[in-house]
Amino acid sequence: MSKKNFVKYDSKVRIRNKKELQVRKNEFLKICKILDKLRIRYFLNTGILLGAIRHKGFIPWDWDVELSVYTDEVVQKLDILIDEINSSGFTIDKYYKDLPRLKINFIGKLSKETTKYTIQGWNHNKKQNFFWRTSFKIPDHFLLNMKKIKLFGRYHFAPYRVEKYLEYQYGNWKTPIQTSNKYRYMREEYSGMNIVNDFYKKFENIIKRFLSIFFK
């Protein structure tokens, strides 16, 4: 299937209308205020950062907004943060408290398919000089001396040398790719994802489940 045709069938990345993006903007700023209130430092990463630099706003076809925090700073405040999100007009979808996956997924006025929000924690491996969560890695020089960038009328922390960081995460970040396929828009160095290895892992798990059913 060609790239052009792929976009047609990838409904996840449909263009959001102005009303939907306005709701997203208002709720994003509300989340920032919640984190400020609880004195939790956050920074822009992933699609929200790419949108801020390349589009001067949201990526119109993006389906989520992710704010990043430092795991060691938020883990003791996680329950308070969840309560604050719930009492501020949002609905918690799911959350993980274990350090490798620490995050909160939630939605606002719009459906989960239109816009979902995530606050996700990053752990610092000081010996090997990188921040990590699950399979994702960021060299720590990007996050130890962050700068502030302006988005929607206020300033937010972002990785130091932001364009170099976007190159690390996306490669050619200046050319838009309207897809939800992470293998296409994320570099393996950042995501830790390899399509061949991941295929064999899934195949291996299927075989194991099959054998467990028929050879109990």
Residue 155 burial (CB count, 10 A)? 10
Provide the pLDDT confidence category of residue 4 given band limits of 50, 70 and 90: very low
- For 29, the token pair is 């700023």
Provide the pLDDT confidence category of residue 6 given band limits of 50, 70 and 90: very low
Report pLDDT digits (tens) over 44-92.
Answer: 999 999 999 999 999 999 999 999 999 999 999 999 999 999 999 999 9
Tokens 């589009």 appear where? Answer: 55
Report pLDDT digits (tens) over 118-133.
Answer: 999 999 999 999 999 9
Report pLDDT digits (tens) over 154-196.
Answer: 999 999 999 999 999 999 999 999 999 999 999 999 999 876 5
What are the residues whose beta carbons fall under 8 Å from the beta carbon of 95, sequence distance 6 or more?
78, 82, 103, 104, 105
- For the chain, what is the domain count? 1
Per-residue pLDDT at 193: 81
At 67, is the secondary structure helix, strand, or coil?
strand
Model confidence at 2: pLDDT above 50 = no
CATH code of the domain covering residue 144: 3.30.460
Residue 159 burial (CB count, 10 A)? 26
What is the share, in percent, of the chain residues with pLDDT greater than 90? 84
What are the residues whose beta carbons fall under 8 Å from the beta carbon of 24, sequence distance 6 or more?
16, 58, 65, 110, 115
- Residue 96, φ and ψ in degrees, nearest 5: -130, 135
Q: How many CA atoms lie within 13 A of 52 on its CB side?
A: 27
Per-residue pLDDT at 1: 40
Domain that holds residue 183: 3-214
Rounded to two decimals, the pTM is: 0.86
Per-residue pLDDT at 11: 83
At position 215, the amino acid (one-letter code) is F
Per-residue pLDDT at 10: 81
Q: What's 129's DSSP letter?
A: T
